[in-house]
Structure 1
Amino acid sequence: MTVSSSRAASGCSPEGDTREKIMHTLLNHPRSTAAAIAEQLHLTTAGVRRHLSALIQDGLVETVTPTVVEGRGRPPALFRLTDVGRANFGHAYDQLASEALEALLDFAGEAGLRLFALRRAKRIVGATQPPAVTAENPTQETLLAAAEQVAASLSDNGYAATVQHAGYGLQLCHHHCPIARIAQRYPIFCETEHEVIAATLGTHIQPLATIADGHGVCTTNIPLPPATTT
Structure 2
Amino acid sequence: MVAGPSESDERTRDRVLAAVLERGPVSAVQLGTVLGLTPAAVRRHLDMLSKNGVIEVKLTSHAKTGAGRPARRYVLSKRGQSELGDDYLEIARTALAQLSAVGGAAAVKDFAAARFAGMEQRYLPVVDAAGQDVAERSRALAGALSGDGFVASSATIHGASALSAQQLCQGHCPIQELAAEFPQFCEAETEVFSRLLGVDVRRLSTLAGGGHVCTTHIPTGRIVVRTTKERDTPGPVTEVSNHQQERP
Give TM-score scaled by structure 1 length.
0.62
**142-151 or 208-217, larger mean C-alpha shift:** 142-151
Q: Following TM superposition, by how much is the alpha carbon of 1:186 offset from its aligned partner in structure 2, in angstroms?
A: 0.8
Match of 2:154 among 149, 157, 164: 164
Greater Rg by CA: 2
- Post-superposition CA distance 1:135-168 (Å, at most 9, x none): xx94146524652475267x1xxx4343333334
Aligned amino acid, residue 165 of structure 1:
A
Match of 2:180 among 170, 178, 184: 184
- With over 3 angstroms needed to count, the CA separation of the structure-2 counterparts of 1:201 and 1:109, relative to structure 1, is same
Residue 28, structure 1, aligned to residue 28, structure 2: no
Partner residue of 1:151?
Answer: 145
Verify the 8 A CA contact 1:101 1:113 in the aligned structure 2. yes
Partner residue of 2:201?
Answer: 205
Partner residue of 2:227?
Answer: none
Where 2:49 maps in the other structure, the secondary structure is helix
Partner residue of 2:105?
Answer: 110
Partner residue of 2:11?
Answer: 12
Verify the 8 A CA contact 2:19 2:31 in the aligned structure 1. no
- With over 3 angstroms needed to count, the CA separation of the structure-2 counterparts of 1:106 and 1:90, relative to structure 1, is same
Q: How far apart in 2 are the matches of 1:126 and 1:81? A: 28
- With over 3 angstroms needed to count, the CA separation of the structure-2 counterparts of 1:224 and 1:20, relative to structure 1, is farther
- What is the aligned-residue RMSD (CA, Å)? 4.2
Q: Structure 1: where are the runs of 5+ without partners?
A: 1-7, 30-35, 65-77
Give the paired residue count.
Answer: 194
Match of 1:222 among 203, 206, 218: 218
Q: Following TM superposition, by how much is the alpha carbon of 1:126 offset from its aligned partner in structure 2, in angstroms?
A: 4.2
Verify the 8 A CA contact 2:205 2:214 in the aligned structure 1. yes
- With over 3 angstroms needed to count, the CA separation of the structure-2 counterparts of 1:121 and 1:38, relative to structure 1, is closer
Aligned amino acid, residue 53 of structure 2:
G
- With over 3 angstroms needed to count, the CA separation of the structure-2 counterparts of 1:210 and 1:54, relative to structure 1, is same
Q: How far apart in 2 are the matches of 1:162 and 1:89? A: 26
Aligned amino acid, residue 160 of structure 1:
F
Where 2:124 maps in the other structure, the secondary structure is coil
Q: How far apart in 2 are the matches of 1:132 and 1:143? A: 7
Identity of aligned residues (%): 25
Q: How far apart in 2 are the matches of 1:94 and 1:60? A: 17
Where 2:174 maps in the other structure, the secondary structure is coil
Where 2:104 maps in the other structure, the secondary structure is helix
Q: How far apart in 2 are the matches of 1:62 and 1:142? A: 30
